[in-house]
Amino acid sequence: MKFNTMTILGTQWGDEGKGKVVHFLSRDADYIVRYQGGNNAGHTIVINGSEHILHLIPSGILERKRCVIGNGVVVDPAALYDEVALLRRKRFDVRGRLFISERAHVILPYHKFLDAVKESSQKIGTTQKGIGPCYGDKYSRSGIRMCDYLERDTFAELIDRNLAEKGPVIERFGDLAALRRRMLAERDRYARFLQPFVCDTTRLLIGAIEQGKKVIFESAQGTLLDVDFGTYPYVTSSNPITGGVSVGTGVPPWYIAKTVGIVKAYTTRVGEGPFPTELASPLQEQLREAGREFGATTGRPRRCGWFDAVVVRHSIRVNGITELVLTKLDCLRGISPLKLCVAYRYGSHTTLTDFPASRKVQRTVQPVYIETPGFTEQIRGITRYRDLPASIKRYITLIEKHCGARITVISLGRDRNETIFK
């Protein structure tokens, strides 16, 4: 039996424009599901010139679809409360359309304290929103899940245990007794808010899929930030890759029919870590301004560089990507020649066509580029592939050739209507 399901994920270091694509495709979907990450992610969607930024709730909520936060997501109750309040102010009511897994782990204030301590020594470039420490508790079996959070006596018992364990570090940030009182008071407030949304989302999703409903799974971050397959240790604390869908939702792997990769026409990353094609010229600032490359969550300027086909080939392989969506092509206007990295040179004699695991190699490789003429034409507003300038079509063809996958959709702007189906 073939199911009507799709995974949409980023092929680079995140910020590829997944939010717009998910929102665009969600018009025909029944459910949109987040399966990993937390409010360290951010999706910016523009509808009729109005900008909406979401961090936890799938962007399909703006199409008034049913949205699910899976068990693989870590949830900050305060952040979710604020996001729902913002949506309501914009007249997007989430009642009956938002579902949160009872098995999702909860971010608590001490996770943010621990994040700050870790970042001060490790310098990963995290958002310091407590994501990593919350996942750390999950895998050390000291985490607190939504179902625990809703039970006041269970929650009180678990935070006492965790505060005893983490106390020597947390005490740097204040009195433990005061922190305990604060968390219990916040729990009483947020538990009432969360209760209507929390359920067995695995049963909900499997039932919907078996009934023929269309379900879209969306990642946070991108493949090169995957904790296993990214530029470790400069990664997130979860698995944005396709394999994370089953772990993060409980939906069996064979229920996922198609995987679509979102790829930006150039490359960006936020935070620390290796970036072989990063530009060290004024062109970086030009790309940053043209693409409005500033983090939706932190506002940090993104590092910008040439398109890296080695990175995207790696993503296609580990995700089983069947087609690509190309975004921000319009931001390359006025740049000539355009460069694409097709391999890496390591040392004086070694050429690499596969993305390396070694952090030393990642840090020291030099990109091998090919060049193609740029374009000066204004392409915003074009809605048919055949109307694109020949130089742009050559660039697209080169990306397809060196990545080994077909581009089926091209985004030429932030608004959902600025889209070409190839």
Positions marked active-site: 15, 43
Q: What is the distance between the alpha carbons of residues 277 and 1, in angstroms, rounded to a whole number?
A: 43
Contact 338, 267 (CB under 8 A): no
Q: Where are the alpha helices (DSSP H) in 211-281?
A: 243-249
Contact 240, 16 (CB under 8 A): no
Q: What six digits make up the tokens of 184?
A: 């219990």
DSSP state of 40: T
Q: What is the distance between the alpha carbons of residues 225 and 132, in angstroms, rounded to a whole number?
A: 13
Cis amide leading into 301 (omega within 30): no
DSSP state of 278: B
Q: How does DSSP assign 268-294, residue by residue? A: EE-SSS--TTB--SHHHHHHHHHTT-B
Dihedral of CA atoms 286, 290, 294, 297 in degrees, nearest 10, equals: -170
Angular region, 226: left φ>0, alpha ψ -120 to 50, beta rest: beta
Cα three-residue angle 323-261-413, rounded to 5 degrees: 100
Between the two ends of the chain, the Cα-to-Cα distance in Å is 28
Contact 67, 97 (CB under 8 A): yes
| Alpha carbon of residue 5 to chain centroid | 19
Cα three-residue angle 131-133-134, rounded to 5 degrees: 65
